[in-house]
A and B are shown apart, each in its own frame.
Chain A
Amino acid sequence: MEFQAVVMAAGGGSRMMDLTSSIPKPLLPVGNKPLIWYPLNLLERIGFEEVIVVTTKEVQKLLNLDTKMKLDIVCIPDDADMGTADSIRHIHQKIKTDVLVLSCDLITDVALHEVVDLFRAHDATLSMLMKKAHEPTEMVPGQKGKKKPVEQRDFIGVDDTGKRLLFMANEADLDEELVIKRSLLQKHPRMHIRTGLADAHLYCLKKYVVDFLAENRSLTSIRSELIPYLVRKQFSSPASLRQRQDNKEQDQKKDQKSLDIFSYVKGDSLLEFAPDKSCWNSHSADLNEAFHGGKVRCYVHIMKEGLCYRVNTLGLYIEANRQVPKLLPALVCPEEPLVHVFAQVTDRGLVGSDSIIGSSTQVGEKTSIKHSIIGSMCTIKDRVKITNCIIMNSVTIEEGCSLQSCLICHNAVIEKGADLRDCLIGSSQRLEPKSKHVNEVIVGSEQLMEI
């Protein structure tokens, strides 16, 4: 078997607590499908038959997907604060080959063979996917004014071909200067440093990296710790060489096994097998052999066009919901219509062509629905105007309401004549009749306790 797929669905969604306090992030509906459906659908389309899903018990209970793949759901305890690398360590017994690690919040239509081909052809240690990020343009409910980029920037250095990943650093880890090692510049004199790239959290990792993670307990997160470690290690010499020059006393102090990745690297690469026979080189500038004799190699595929979203903030969630109706016909069997067969819509003509309506939803007369996504089992009475909204399951909207650019969570009830604009209504909330809200977040009091 060539690859095993692992989907990480245990994360909390800490940047959109308004939503995730009531619904776990993997189950957030996007286009009326749970968020975790999208990476699973991607894996199914490209031909995987088995997937390991790492998640919490809560999600496992509510998870109900119809997929042809065999899902091996591994639960990690709720209270243990496990990072993604910890989760890999937890399941490392199951992993027998190279892994493809995905995050549950990835929505993309990338041709995955581009990432995997880099991994195969260059016999790489790591291969990942990135896309040029763009600011979400939608108004986010509850947000006052223009959002300042709070996140720290990532500096990504690639070589001339744009495929080899040479350098990765986050602004948060740097003091005032960007430090580039001399060994890196000697081997790759031309490097392009880019900011503004969004990481898709899709990684192809070799099996020996998983073995290394199993032994080395100091790494907790794949993205923030393991990947920068591997990228750095491309240009440092194997520890065995350095240890010979090390102090003898230091060696005696560390009596544990060397926790360096190099001791795990298995070199049976065809490219290294007969290096003096092949007339190919990864670089042309100097006299060294291909790859400069480096054992660890990291590659990145930077998408130029297409969709690639990581739904981890409210703005991106709303943006994803906007884009998904265009994407769904390509992803799913095209027979599934946007308006579900079991939905009872009285005035079909008033429903826009890119709106999605879930099953068992009743829509009353003279109700116009434009550019919206409505979940299943909703009841929408007459003369309601819904524009640009995201409405989850089992919501009741009484007559005469007008909703614009709102996000309404499960089981909410909007009484007659309400006028809402740019609002976020938490789950199971009840709004009084004729209430008017602009740009507000209305959630329950117990949710307000979460910080």
Chain B
Amino acid sequence: QGPLLQQPNPPACSELGTGAQLPCGEVRRPSPSGALAIGSATVTCRAPLVGGLGRAVPPMPAPVPSEGLAGSEKLAGGKSKAELRAERRAKQEADRALKQTKKVESTPAAALAKPRLQPSEPQSMVKRVPEHVQVDDPAAQKRLAKKLERQQVPLRPDYGAKVNLFSHLHQYSRKMPLTQQMSIPSTAIHPAVVRLGLQYSQGLLNGSNARCLALLQVFRQVIRDYSTPPNEELSRDLVARLKPYISFLNQCRPLSASMGNAIKYLKKEISGLSSTLREEEAKGKLQGSIDGYVREKIQLAAEAISKYAFEKISDGDVILVYGCSSLVSRTLCDAHANGRAFRVIVVDSRPRLEGRDTLRRLVRKGIRCTYVMITAISYMLPEVSKVLLGAHALLANGSVMSRVGTSQIALVSKAYNVPVLVCCETYKFCERVQTDSFVSNELDDPDDLILPGKGGAHLRGWKENSSLRLLNLVYDVTPPELVDLVITDLGMIPCTSVPVVLRVKNVEQ
């Protein structure tokens, strides 16, 4: 069945079955031959139009008609196909007339100089379910394959049997890199992007901040090496040039929320370039804006968060951290450098064992650390005074998306009445809403679960065993009730204030 839609207020668009009511008030019945082709999971809902069958002209250009609606249906009310077509034509004429009047009114010069304004009514935007959570839908995958072929990016094949609940997500193997299908001196994709993609897919570059920083570095290099082809405009061509790179990186490893936001910012900056700038100036301006983004949103934000968190750490504290978050490690190192006396319990989990990295960084600075596995947290929590967690993204309903295991720690901490603090920069805030960890997640290479050496003897033949599936989840979602405070560069806010921050950010932009 179709996946949940990810919208703040999902419209009442129930499953299109017999006699179901569409928002526009039409009643559709499947044709006698049963050719109701609504098998596609992409149920795009129309904007709720005014009135029943009345064709009030919507302020936006005509919305994309829902896919799968077979044209051969007979509608209730005796409307035949021809009449429907006539109505549609009338609507299109009205649209065109409206557009003409709009064009005549606005001045041509202003149209060029003004950047494209986003439509202010969120309801008239049609949201598509992204492809990467529709792996079991062949139509969506075909579309993706066509898109990749157009962009000359190879398609990465899925690997191994997936657990049923997660069959809508991609699962790749590290031993089958994307570069197998590409030419060696890569010409279609910039070599720095290929290198970055390899480092992502082989797990050499981990961590939300690290990935985003590396991405921005590489894009900086791409912009430096870019030269506008003749008869093209930099603002349009560069965005088109970046699209295949982004698809390629997505194929190597699904983009993180921080990377997505950085790319959105960069695309906006590029499109917003004035066409009067020379190429060198434009490139310099873009590189400057990338540097500014890194400095403000990542580096200065980290400093601000470190300062705020410092107020929350008192002498004699026992702080529990999980996995490896660059922000949390930095906060603790700064607090220690500023003279606070505390000790840290580092919790770690398989298969990534990232806690060892946190341990390394903290011990080098001289902080007293204890290292346990996540199975031991209920034994350690009675002596913990607070829990400090990092986040991959903060979702619009206040949920925290972080490394798998974080929600478990938050849950057990709640049971022991230990306050849970989450540190997250605002650039990782995301407009998605998720209440569970199933809909949108990432599946890592299942072979990572096989222990090296003699320990892995049982799991090694897992592919031959048809009843055995391995699941290596990467992220999970912690509900907002379990989080006590979120420390951002804008201050210390409760979880429920995240939508406010997002709204403020949107208005700014």
Contact = CB atoms under 8 A, between A and B. Distances in A.
A270 interface: yes
A212 interface: no
B326 interface: yes
Given A117-B177, A278-B210, A280-B204, A47 B184 contact: yes
B205 A280 contact: yes
Contact of A271 (B180, B204, B324, B353): B204
Interface stretch (B8-16, B121-129, B188-196, B420-428): B188-196
Contacts of B177: 113, 117
B179 interface: yes
Nearest to B205: A278
A338 B488 CA distance: 70
Interface in B329-362: 329-330, 353-354, 356-358, 360-361
Nearest to B357: A279
Contact of B326 (A4, A116, A271, A277): A277
A350 B137 CA distance: 56
Max chain A CB contacts within 10 Å: which of B185, B195, B207, B217?
B185
B184 A276 contact: no
Interface string A109-123: 001110011001111
Contacts of B40: none
Interface in A92-133: 100, 111-113, 116-117, 120-123
A121 B184 contact: no
A3 interface: yes
A305 to B, nearest CB: 14
A386 to B, nearest CB: 40
B478 interface: no
B209 interface: yes
B360 to A, nearest CB: 5
A274 interface: yes
Tell me the dominant secondary structure on chain A's binding face.
Answer: loop
A123 B195 CA distance: 8
Contacts, number: 101
**Chain A interface size range:** 20 to 34
Given A113-B184, A270-B195, A270-B205, A276 B361 contact: yes
Given A270-B195, A280-B205, A47 B183 contact: yes
Interface string B194-206: 1110110011111
B184 A277 contact: no
Contact of B199 (A112, A116, A271, A277): A271
B186 interface: yes
Contacts of A287: 360, 363-364
Interface string A189-224: 000000000000000000000000000000000000
Interface in B42-60: none
Interface in A414-441: none
B209 A277 contact: yes
Nearest to A2: B191
Nearest to B192: A270
Given A48-B184, A121-B204, A271-B205, A279 B324 contact: yes
B210 A281 contact: no
Contacts of B357: 279-281
A285 B330 CA distance: 22
Given A47-B184, A116-B179, A281-B357, A274 B198 contact: no
A100 B183 CA distance: 14
Given A2-B191, A120-B179, A287-B360, 15 more contacts: A46-B184, A113-B177, A113-B184, A117-B179, A117-B198, A120-B194, A120-B195, A273-B213, A273-B217, A276-B329, A279-B207, A280-B203, A280-B205, A281-B356, A284-B353
The 4 residue pairs across chains A and B that have the minimum distance between CB atoms: A47-B183, A279-B324, A278-B210, A2-B191
Interface of A: 1-4, 46-49, 100, 111-113, 116-117, 120-123, 270-271, 273-274, 276-281, 284, 287
Interface of B: 177, 179-180, 182-187, 191, 194-196, 198-199, 202-207, 209-210, 213-214, 217-218, 323-324, 326, 329-330, 353-354, 356-358, 360-361, 363-364
5 contacts: A4-B185, A47-B183, A113-B177, A274-B209, A278-B214
